[in-house]
Amino acid sequence: MHDLPPLARFGGLLATDLRDVTSDPAALDSTGFWAVTADFEGRLVCARFGDIRPDPVPAPVPGAWRGPEADEWTSSLGRAAYTAGVRRIREHIEAGEVYQANLCRVMSAPLPDPAGADVDALTALLARGNPAPYAGTIRLPAHGVEIATASPELYLRRTGRRVESGPIKGTGRTAADLLPKDHAENVMIVDLVRNDLGRVCATGSVTVPELCALEEHPGLVHLVSTVAGELAEGAGWPELLAATFPPGSVTGAPKSSALRIIEALETAPRGPYCGGIGWVDADRGTAELAVGIRTFWIDRTASGGPRLLFGTGAGITWGSDPDREWAETELKAARLLRVASGAVGADATGVTGVAGVAGGIGTPGTTDNATDKQTDESGRTVR
């Protein structure tokens, strides 16, 4: 199925009829509806689609997705290497080189049926097993992009000239698990995001409408803040991405120092994980890009055959305990890996074996009807 037609699915919309693919961020200021993915290492893929219609994530079809067995997942960093990395970051903090750095590991497993693997079928499972506000699919096999995300974190939202970011820092099973370290970590990253947006927003326009709000997600809770501003005159997508990428919540502070530490300690490229994933509607001046966390992607060029990959990590500060940080990476991965391996399956009423989780992402669509079609100024079909 790696020759399946291109599509993107976000927020209750399905995009088909691929028109253009480019790595030029200036295209996002032109016309049309674009699906966007930016790898953590900087590879940008922007795909313009011509047919955009309301279409909620369909119910999972039994057998449509065959994921890896639960015991086949391997990690780029084992527990000993990860906890040693946490201690090394604390040494960098003690030396005054950095205040916080995000240490990640990439998990992977062989696909049991590569020819039949379709990330949109995985998205259907994730929508029921781990619903998320910024979930979606980008399927561009010819361009090496096959992503299913269940991201809870907003990287960038645009409405005209207004831009918002929603960094997450602080994770626990319940609110009672959150420590003063989690709040301090969030505030540090909020300051970093303020500085990033300040580089491209009008002077005095950057604000923090919400600080350390508690959000509940399947199996865990997060502290989430909101940073907003008005883009400066003449600033567009190239300037906005240059000022803010990679996202601050998955790098550290100062960002340049954190990136050097990440490169030294991590043993595998992050790829779509910790990058940006979402959509841009250039005609309407709106966009929503998620931070690429809780994200699966297929690598069909991997040594030994196609593999499914997934990233997990934690923000490291002076107050970090190495074993607790490892446990946080396990917590973030556990539920998603069960979904991808079929241990959390959907039935007609919701989710088998996972109480209280049902339904999908986005909003219900309308009946596909030829009379609903119309063509907008960019030549795309909207329904």
Which residues are identified as catalytic? 153, 169
Whole-angstrom distance, CA of residue 335 vs CA of residue 307: 19
Q: Which residues pair with 314 in a beta bridge?
A: 103
At how many degrees (to 10) do helices 322-340 and 119-129 cross? 110
DSSP state, residue 112: S
3-state secondary structure of 85: helix
According to DSSP, the residues that pair with 33 across neighbouring strands are: 49, 281
Rounded to a whole number of angstroms, the CA Rg of the chain reads: 20
Q: Within the chain, how many helices (H) and strands (E) appear? A: 6, 22
- Distance from CA of residue 368 to its chain's centroid? 29
What does DSSP say about strands 381-382 and 44-54: parallel, antiparallel, or unpaired?
parallel
- Let me know: does 90 contact 96? Beta carbons within 8 Å: no
Q: How far apart are CA 377 and CA 220, in angstroms?
A: 43
**CA 1 from centroid of its chain's CA atoms:** 24
Closest CA to 235 of 205, 266, 271: 205
d(C-alpha 251, C-alpha 332), whole Å: 17
Q: Which two tokens stand for residue 145?
A: 């992009």
Q: Is the peptide bond before 246 cis (omega within 30 degrees of 0)?
A: yes
Tokens at 214, concatenated:
């508690």
Query: Which uninterrupted H or E stretch holds 260?
Result: helix 255-265
Q: In the beta sheet, which residues pair with residue 352?
A: 345
